Structure 1
């Protein structure tokens, strides 16, 4: 099975603040998609300990190894906004 970016509202340029679709004028969630879907031009690919919400906290999975530039399977983004 291949891994793909989802064609849903969270990856769409038409998603405005407050999870409102600027095309349809309704509140949506990431389980929605439509024929007006327009993929965001660029997704951030800056994944490492520094951009992890768990970095230098008590719930870091690898506190002895965590350092800028490193990445583990427990990474969680600091800002999960669309």
Structure 2
């Protein structure tokens, strides 16, 4: 099974701080609409320091991990 980002409001360009700018209403992770417009980049700086595994026991390369480096096991710290 693969993991994907869903079409939820938090991934939409019209979302800002739990608020839909298009519909002018409060929204959350469970909401989406037909006007959904995916953000071009949710995280535009994937590297060791933005990885949830950095400096933890689950880091696959703890001796090599450093800022501005990236490996195949990168995991975002948070989506929003």
Paired with 1:52 and 1:2, the residues of 2 have a C-alpha distance of: 19
Cα deviation for residue 38 of structure 1 reads 1.6
Structure 1 match to 2:25: 26
TM-score scaled to structure 2, two decimals?
Answer: 0.62
Structure 2 match to 1:39: 38
Does the 8 Å contact 1:48/1:75 carry over to 2?
no
Listed one character per residue, the Cα deviations across residues 22-51 of structure 1 (whole Å, up to 9, x for unaligned) are 1222221122111121222x1134322132
- Please report the RMSD computed on the Cα atoms of aligned residues, expressed in angstroms: 2.9
Structure 2 match to 1:6: 6
TM-score scaled to structure 1, two decimals?
Answer: 0.61
Q: Which structure 2 segments of 5+ residues have no match?
A: none
Paired with 1:34 and 1:3, the residues of 2 have a C-alpha distance of: 21
The 3 A distance-change label for structure 1 pair 76 and 4 is closer
Does the 8 Å contact 1:20/1:28 carry over to 2?
yes
Cα deviation for residue 70 of structure 1 reads 2.8
